[in-house]
Structures are given as C-alpha cells and as structure tokens.
Amino acid sequence: MHKQVLVTGANGQLGQSIRKISADYSRYAFEYIDIQEVDLTSQRAIESFFDQNHFDIIINCAAYTAVDKAETDQELAESINYQAVKVLAKIAKHKDMTLVHVSTDYVFDGQNFRPYVETDKVAPQSVYGATKLKGEQAFQNLGAKGAIIRTSWLYSEFGQNFVKTMLKLGANRGKLTVIFDQIGTPTYAGDLAKAILDSLPQLETKTAEIYHFSNEGVCSWYDFATAIFDLSHTSCQVGPIETKDYPTPAKRPHYSLLNKSKIKHDLNLEIPYWRDSLVRCLAVLQGG
C-alpha cells in the first residue's frame, strides 16, 4: 500500500525538484498542488480540500519568498508563511499526518560568529524572516508530527533564482558587482528534495523537530557569482561590493551559515559540497 504524499507549492523550485525525482520513491504516491488547485491564503479552501482528500504526509514547499516585496506586502506574506502553516499543522495533528515544513536562515539576525545550530536564538530582521518564524512557532505549538527544515540560498534549474539571474546578466554584460560581505551557503534544491524524500520514514517519527540543511561549505554572494561564471565559462568580470553600497528594502543576515551536524547525525545524510552541486545544476541548465 502506497503512502499518500501531498506536495504544496508544487510550481516552486523545491516542489518541481521533488516532482523530478519522485519516480525513484515508489513506496509513495505523490499529489501536487499550487495556488491553482488550493488557495493557501484561505483557511476554508485548505480545510475543504482536506475534508475531501486523505494523505499520510504533507511536504509544505509553499512560501511567500519575495523578500523585499514582503516589506510592503506583509499581509500576504503572513497569510502564506504563517497562517497557512498554522492551518496545515492543525489539520496534520487532527488527522495524524506527518508535516514536513521548509523554513529559512532568515529567522536569524546574522550576527553570529559560528554556524547556527537549531537551538540558537532567533531574531529575524525582515518581514519575510518574521513571518517564516511565526510559521515555525505555530507548527511547534500545535505539536504535529514531522519536522521543520531550515535552508538557505536556494537555487535550481526551475523558476527564478540567483544562478539563472547571473547567467542571464553575465551573457549580456562584461562586468558586474556583487555583495561580498553576506556569508552563507548556496543550496541546490535537487539536494534538498532528495534529503527530504530519503528522510521521510524517520521524519514520520519526529514531533515538530527542527533541522538545518544546506549544501556543505561556505561562500559569499560574490564567491557564488564568480563560481557560476567560472564553471559556466562566462567571460563576465565580477567586482565585490559591500551591502551598504547596494541598499534593499529588506535587511539580509550578514552571516547565516547553518550547522548541519544534527540532520547528518539523526537522519544519516551525506550532503554534497556546494560547488559540486552547482556543477550539476549548470550541466542541466546548459545542456538544455
């Protein structure tokens, strides 16, 4: 008997990455929804959907991720990143389903001097980070089965992301400047998708556990851009600039490196180095 898995935010980077590899996980039957199927800003729509459908596991990839836009669009960001998570967690608890919810490094203030562990103090500096944190807390307070997985700097062959933006700009410009004083780790959505699906049997035994997942290693956005051009053989020059020279509506954490010891230990995961994963993504993008 297949376990029924619902993937929300199916048209996003992570949702599409899960869909791409789901055939390798034959013990599960996957269903995918996005805004067209269920409006996650409507509690009634969510409850109605679950009244008519049964699942064993929910993987919540849905999120409002326009970080700068969220500063002036707080209501919508909150409805997706917080209210929808609260409703999903309540339903999961009531119907004894496992909920895997994806969160972000932006729940931290970025003032650390060592990689963040799951128990470190949270202090989001943006509306996006604050709404994501409220979603985490709602899940924890309701005590549903499953896990919260925080990730960082997500990119893939799908949707809009830093890698695709750099490739587009690099093809049209001879020179670019990129921020060098924000430090973290890029995460290939294909690696996160695999980690989640590989871990589902163990995650079903957890209760609102928090884990950190990104690729291994550390870099700045400047290093990331340089690697993208180097590995894609793009002859665009990259110059480093400071955050203060590129003001944005939302404040980003200067340092948001995630410590992954817990997820590697508890779920027995091997995590690829960020540059190796970038090579794989570029091969897909450049191979057509």
- Catalytically active residues, by annotation: 128
Three-state DSSP class for residue 160: coil
Residues 6+ apart with CB under 8 A from 66: 73, 77, 128
Comparing C-alpha atoms, which of 265, 258, 176 is closest to residue 212?
258
Residue 147 DSSP symbol: E
Question: How many angstroms separate the Cα of 16 from the Cα of each of 10, 32, 39, 124?
Answer: 6, 9, 18, 28
H or E stretch at 142: helix 127-142
The DSSP string of 261-286 is HHHHHHH-----BHHHHHHHHHHHHH
Calpha distance 138→129 (Å, rounded): 14
- 152 close to 119: Cβ distance less than 8 angstroms: no
CB atoms inside a 10 Å sphere around CB 21: 13
Write down the residue that tokens 């291994």 correspond to: 216
Calpha distance 22→198 (Å, rounded): 11
Q: Environment class of residue 19 by beta-carbon count within 10 Å: exposed (0-12), middle (13-18) or buried (19+)?
A: middle
